[in-house]
Chains A and B, each alone.
Chain A
Amino acid sequence: MSSSWETIIGLETHVQLRTKSKMFCGCATAFGAPPNTQVCPVCLGLPGALPMPNGAAIGLAVRAALALGCTVHPKSVFARKNYFYPDLPKGYQISQFDQPLATNGTLSFLAPERGIVTAGVVRLHLEEDAGKSIHDRFPKATAVDLNRSGVPLIEIVGGPDLRSPAEARAYLQTLKQLLEYIGISDCDMEKGSLRVDANVSVRRAGETALNTRTEVKNINSFAFVEKALTVERDRQIALIESGGAVTQQTMLYDSKENAVRPQRSKEESHDYRYFPEPDLPPLVLTPEFVAEQQSALPELPAAKRDRFVATYALSREHATVVTSNRAVADYYENVVRAGAEPQAAANWVMTEALADAKDHQEQLRVAPGALAQIVALVKGGTLSHQAAKKVFGEVAAKGGEPRTIAEALGLIQVADSNVVAGWVTDVLGAHASEVGRYKSGETKLMAFFVGQVMRASKGKADPKLAQRVLEEKLTAS
């Protein structure tokens, strides 16, 4: 049914900035402290307390804005967003409204159906986080923890430029990758340091006007982004096809049921009564400050990928995988710098290194120099590929020098033709009938003989040499 429908999605992403202290007070931001122990007059909203902005948070926000190609405004204004909620201590959130920090950026990403898509970033602004309301701690009561109250956030408002749930996922993946790259956030959705809300609407293919949209909230894991949006899209299409109309509302995603349900609406609509925060003068950024943030930015993923294609002659796909994460990209370059052939190094990084990291808390356990040595040993014929994998595993688990380990494990390939000839003679002697069939033209049995030689040598024979000796003996006799 969805083929005649187009989906319009825009994401609003909240990202916790990586700072030691909160946005407007000196309380720690560390995750996991006992409740209400990282609080002070400011983040408790005590009478008379005033906010004092964290320069590092502002710097990180500017870096994010620059990385997204936004216009960073030399003057922006904090504003109060007024609403009542028990975990919002002041009864307002300090945010930015009509004069945000940055506007008008873009994010290019690889969309599953449309190739490279450049989505707009409407605005990026700074704000403080609220605390946490816990509804299942006490019966008939809500428990409030204000440790998170006042933690610095940026909100990145994406344009309505995404055309499918899968695209939304790809966009978010790319955004996350970018923000991790520039080191402004750990972007951990499970810890709440990356949160995403989505505006979703549908229209019949060919229409240009935007229809009524809903906001989908409570998507609290990366895995749910696509699912939640698919459910909401299908709901809207089914609704319209059955003659109904979409109403503007907030839908909450329930991951257990894989369903959305409308947020029980308060009797009055939101009226946040934004006005300029009188406790804070304008946020003025000097050109020097912005330039400082610009120079603190590392090479961004897209630029790095292009460079890897150009410098290391990797395919675009391989370059994309190798640059997906800044640590992996740096690792790859160190392996190459240590002397490994670039394509072979990429193959090793993409397979063994990433697989090992996945099983070991994302740690790249084999030092770049060691991996370069393994690559060289394979290339020089000293280790078979199979043997090299074993060596990699050993080095990862126990450390040490690959060559020494290979020797200790007896994995060095035997390239002495006399020794190999001995194994060949044994194999041919043991398989007289196969020898006969080979000689009568069944040459594909060569692979069988090679395999038997490898087996007899316990993997130590150089397979190429074994084949040459086999060919010699089978034609000679």
Chain B
Amino acid sequence: MSVSREEVLRIAQLAELDVEKEALPELVDNMSRIIDYVAQLSAVPANGTVKVFVPGPDAIRFRADEVTPAHLAFGPAEFAPDFKEGFFVVPKLGQFE
């Protein structure tokens, strides 16, 4: 296994995803196989001079500094799971500050 159980759990925490205990062994196995599979890229002789390829325009276009908010057909109160007095409401942050 190229990816350990602990690593999967650490990554899941970073990605804010619950991983069920029963699903963990299969996930570790899948992740390992995928990582092993993509690891063949590192076997290619590294060529530090390769310029990164980015599709699309070569340069950013600038927007004019004008107040032109994109239209919302309806406001946040219509799609938010909890919206009170103009605010999105979430449970307290727990171990965050």
- Is B95 engaged at the interface, CB distance under 8 Å to the other chain? yes
Chain B residues with CB below 8 A from A41, complex form: 70, 72
**B62 A144 Cβ-Cβ under 8 A:** no
Given known A-B contacts A20-B65, A144-B90, A42 and B70 have beta carbons under 8 A apart: yes
- For chain B, what secondary structure do more than half of its interface residues adopt (helix, strand, loop), or is it mixed? loop
Would you give the shortest CB distance from A250 to chain B, in whole angstroms? 9
Per-residue CB contact flags for chain B residues 79-97 toward chain A (1 = under 8 Å, else 0) read 0000011111111110111
Chain B residues with CB below 8 A from A40, complex form: 69-72
Complexed CA–CA distance, A205 and B18 (Å): 50
- For chain A, what secondary structure do more than half of its interface residues adopt (helix, strand, loop), or is it mixed? loop
Given known A-B contacts A36-B86, A55-B62, A55-B64, A28 and B69 have beta carbons under 8 A apart: yes
- Which interface class (under 10, 10 to 19, 20 to 34, 35 or more) fits A? 35 or more
**A135 B92 Cβ-Cβ under 8 A:** yes
Complexed CA–CA distance, A254 and B16 (Å): 30
- Is B56 engaged at the interface, CB distance under 8 Å to the other chain? yes
Complexed CA–CA distance, A26 and B52 (Å): 31
Nearest to A278 among chain B residues (CB) is B54
* B29-72 with Cβ < 8 A to chain A: 52, 54, 56-72
- Is A404 engaged at the interface, CB distance under 8 Å to the other chain? no
Chain B residues with CB below 8 A from A281, complex form: 54, 56-60
Complexed CA–CA distance, A57 and B59 (Å): 16
**B76 A55 Cβ-Cβ under 8 A:** no
Partner of A267, one of B54, B84, B95: B95
Complexed CA–CA distance, A55 and B65 (Å): 7
Per-residue CB contact flags for chain A residues 142-166 toward chain B (1 = under 8 Å, else 0) read 1111100000000000000000000
Chain A residues with CB below 8 A from B86, complex form: 34-37, 145
Complexed CA–CA distance, A34 and B76 (Å): 13
**B90 A26 Cβ-Cβ under 8 A:** no
- Is B13 engaged at the interface, CB distance under 8 Å to the other chain? yes
- Which interface class (under 10, 10 to 19, 20 to 34, 35 or more) fits B? 35 or more
Partner of A141, one of B14, B69, B91: B91
**B84 A143 Cβ-Cβ under 8 A:** yes
Partner of B63, one of A52, A84, A135, A284: A52
Complexed CA–CA distance, A35 and B95 (Å): 26
Per-residue CB contact flags for chain A residues 16-31 toward chain B (1 = under 8 Å, else 0) read 0001110001111000
- Is A458 engaged at the interface, CB distance under 8 Å to the other chain? no
- Is A140 engaged at the interface, CB distance under 8 Å to the other chain? yes
**B88 A284 Cβ-Cβ under 8 A:** no
Partner of B66, one of A21, A86, A273, A284: A21
Given known A-B contacts A20-B65, A142-B93, A284-B58, A268 and B14 have beta carbons under 8 A apart: yes
Chain B residues with CB below 8 A from A282, complex form: 54, 58-60
Chain B residues with CB below 8 A from A267, complex form: 13, 95
28 A-B interface contacts by CB (under 8 A): A19-B65, A21-B67, A21-B68, A26-B63, A26-B68, A26-B70, A27-B67, A35-B87, A36-B86, A37-B86, A39-B72, A54-B65, A55-B64, A58-B62, A86-B90, A140-B91, A141-B92, A144-B89, A145-B86, A145-B88, A264-B96, A267-B13, A267-B95, A268-B10, A276-B52, A281-B57, A282-B60, A284-B60
- In the A-B complex, the 9 residue pairs with the smallest Cβ-Cβ separation, listed nearest first, are A55-B62, A56-B65, A26-B68, A284-B59, A143-B87, A35-B86, A144-B88, A40-B70, A27-B69
Instruction: Give the interface of A toward B (CB within 8 A).
Output: 19-21, 25-28, 34-42, 44, 49, 52-58, 84-86, 133-135, 137-138, 140-146, 252, 263-264, 266-268, 271, 273, 276, 278, 280-284
